[in-house]
Structure 1
Amino acid sequence: MSTHQPPMPQAPGAPDRQAAPGGSYPGYTSPIPVVRTHLGHALASEWTKIRSVRSTIWTLSVFVFLVVGIGLLVGALVSAHASESSLSGTNPLSFGFFGVLVGTMCVITLGVLTTASEYGTGMIRTTMTACPSRGRVLAAKAIVFFAVAFVVSLVSVGFVAMVQSSMLSGSGVESPSGADWFKATVGVSLYIALLGLLALLVGSMIRHSAGGITIMIGLVLAPLVLALFMATESLHSVRDFLFEYSFPSQLSVFYDNTLSGSGPQGWDPLWIMLGLTAAAGVGAYALLRNRDV
């Protein structure tokens, strides 16, 4: 008697089963199309994350408030109390420096939180599971953050520059040239965005929000504070170096109002910041590849 039985009919709607490539056991073909992921998917994911968390809204709101509020306050005080003789030859855009300097603390904070907060919540495991290419994840975070920081900075400092220039017109100040406008808006925004990107990379290396923010604030403020207390002649060269290459001093170069008479000039601070950020990027990528998440 034959024991062979005909195959059971397949139920309607059931997935097709076929032999797996290179094997004789039954395989499975998913009805869902498999799409090869690329950088665009990682960018979309990071954009969704950065615009949907509260820290982004709060830090950028405070940044705009400080840059615009302090900038307009300084412009109003100078316009009301300074004489035409004291303002003669002064670039009116330079008064935006004070608000930008305070506001950079917000960009630094957001930069660190963009990477370090995922390690604190454990979200980084989900991110790396969805996108195993760690370099792609880091690149997507950097691109999205840089774009957001640059646009918000450009709108804020551009608005302050226009209002301050209008406030101080006719007060003896000089009329800014096109190059002055470009440096005080685009140049400053690029510098702030790179500074925030440096904070993002430090956060990726430290993997701790409070530690990363503390390190970045120390890097920004400590050199200038230390230089103020170096009054002895033997430390004169060290003091000058700290003054010239401190972050506040380099930021003031974009307003043609340096804290020291020497040091970086023109667009030099931007290239210095670009070099620091590139070095931090190499270190962050190396650590991300070699450490567990």
Structure 2
Amino acid sequence: MSTHQPPMPQAPAPAPGGSYPGYTSPIPVVRTHLGHALASEWTKIKSVRSTMWTLGVFVVLVFGIGLMFASVVSAHSGSDSLSGQTPIQLGFFGLLLGSMCIITLGVLTTASEYGTGMIRTTMTACPSRARVLAAKAIVFFAVAFAVTLVTSGLVAMMQASMLEGVGGARTPSGGEWLKATVGISLYIALLGLFSLIIGSIIRHSAGAITIMIGAVLAPLVIALFMATQSLEKVRQWLLEYSIPSQMSVFYDNSLSRSGPTGWDPLWIMLGLSAAAFAGAYALLQKRDV
């Protein structure tokens, strides 16, 4: 008696869309797009502890330093410490230190994934590297801008209320309000975005944060020690285009008498971010994850 068994029938090939004859999957098959990548990056940035800590410290620094300066000036109301100036100019100091938190978060948004290996999962889920980088940039910029705008706006209103008519202070114009809230928020968000891109290029959190903090502080510190006449032009250029000096332009209180004015710092940072983004995209296409 033969023990040969007939071959088992093969399952039919699936029809387009992932369904078999007589069976349709309850899970819809859709083409992925940028919206899916944005949702993924939003889930990441709101669920990691680094976001809470960096933005929390940012808010504390901006509020704490801004209101501390306002309180000191208010206590010396008999002096002319704000003669010809607006109270909202005191918000510069808190935002200068707070920008370090935005820089740190920007770097961690990209570089931390390379440190943990999570970037492999990200690229597997979304093979389009340009889409991943664009989604990270959009989500981070929106978060950084919103937090900075709300924080700087509240601090500016509290300073204006505390120092109205104190120390010879004058009432801010509409343009000054716009620059000290929306303008500085756009600039800091772009600075954080630039840090995000540097993190994508360097792929090392500590290294990228060090580079960015050095880029913010080093030019100004170096310029302060350039006392010789032969280096005067270099010193002046560093003073004009250092990031603290560009931030002070939004408060009409530039650290130098020449250089960028008005909204110029915003266009400078936008150009730097665009050039860095192009470089990061080119490297992403060539590198292995």
TM-score (norm 2): 0.92
- 257, 280, 284: which one aligns with 1:284: 280
Structure 2 residue 103 is matched with structure 1 residue 111: no
Q: How many percent identity over aligned positions?
A: 74
Structure 2 residue 95 is matched with structure 1 residue 100: yes
Structure 1: give runs of 5+ residues left out of the alignment.
11-15
CA deviations 1:208-241 (Å, max 9, x no partner) are: 0000000000110010000010000000000000
- 131, 137, 144: which one aligns with 1:142: 137
1:152: which partner in 2?
A: 147
Q: Distance in 1 between matches of 2:73 and 2:205?
A: 38
In 2, are the aligned partners of 1:188 and 1:251 still within 8 Å (CA)? yes
Q: Describe the SS at the equivalent of 1:259.
A: coil
CA deviations 1:111-140 (Å, max 9, x no partner) are: 000000000000000000000000000000
In 1, are the aligned partners of 2:126 and 2:132 still within 8 Å (CA)? yes
2:176: which partner in 1?
A: 180
1:264: which partner in 2?
A: 260
Q: What is the aligned length?
A: 280
1:205: which partner in 2?
A: 201
2:31: which partner in 1?
A: 36
What is the letter of the counterpart of residue 105 of structure 1? Answer: M
Cα drift, residue 75 of structure 1: 0.6
Cα drift, residue 7 of structure 1: 11
2:57: which partner in 1?
A: 62
In 2, are the aligned partners of 1:201 and 1:281 still within 8 Å (CA)? yes
CA deviations 1:77-133 (Å, max 9, x no partner) are: 011125353422111111000000000000000000000000000000000000000
Distance 1:160 1:209, change over 3 A: same
TM-score (norm 1): 0.91
Q: Distance in 2 between matches of 1:101 and 1:178?
A: 22
CA deviations 1:181-231 (Å, max 9, x no partner) are: 000000000000000000000000000000000000011001000001000
1:13: which partner in 2?
A: none
In 2, are the aligned partners of 1:203 and 1:209 still within 8 Å (CA)? yes
- What's the Cα RMSD here? 2.3
- 18, 25, 28: which one aligns with 2:13: 18
Structure 2: give runs of 5+ residues left out of the alignment.
none
In the TM superposition, 1:76-87 aligns within 5 A as: 76-87=71-82
What is the letter of the counterpart of residue 122 of structure 1? Answer: G
Structure 2 residue 184 is matched with structure 1 residue 192: no
In 1, are the aligned partners of 2:110 and 2:199 still within 8 Å (CA)? yes
What is the letter of the counterpart of residue 29 of structure 2? Answer: V
